[in-house]
Amino acid sequence: MQSFISDYLAFWIPMYVLALTAWACIGRFLMQVFVPEESANYIWRGFRMLTDWAVWCARRMVPSYVGQRFLPLVAACWLFGIRLVGGVLAISAGMAPSLTPPGAG
């Protein structure tokens, strides 16, 4: 009998990290309306710490006419896309858990 969690950690950990970062990018996009860019607010610093790498990557992948304030939203879209493609590849490779029990069919 396989464990739903421990046997599929190679699937769960990347999917969780991608989802967490993508939702944090959306939170950062929404929060930047209320908080100045260089604020000392600990929640804002947490969002920045968690999402700076994704925004940095998005800045290099999109054209320069995309405004700085929209980069967290672009990064979130990229992360959700990567998560979708990675999930489909993991399911097709048998690395993701199945909802049906083995042998059912």
Burial of 64-101, coded b for 16+ CB within 10 Å and e otherwise, reads eeeeeeebbbbbbebbbeebeebbeebeeeeebeeeee
Give pTM, 2 decimals: 0.85
- The amino acid at residue 18 is L
Q: Is the pLDDT of residue 27 over 80?
A: yes
In this prediction, residue 59 carries a pLDDT of 94
Extents of the domains making up the chain: 20-92
Q: Is the pLDDT of residue 105 over 60?
A: no
Model confidence over 29-57: pLDDT tens digits? Answer: 999 999 988 888 899 999 999 999 999 99
**Of 24, 64, 63, nearest in space to 44 by CA:** 24
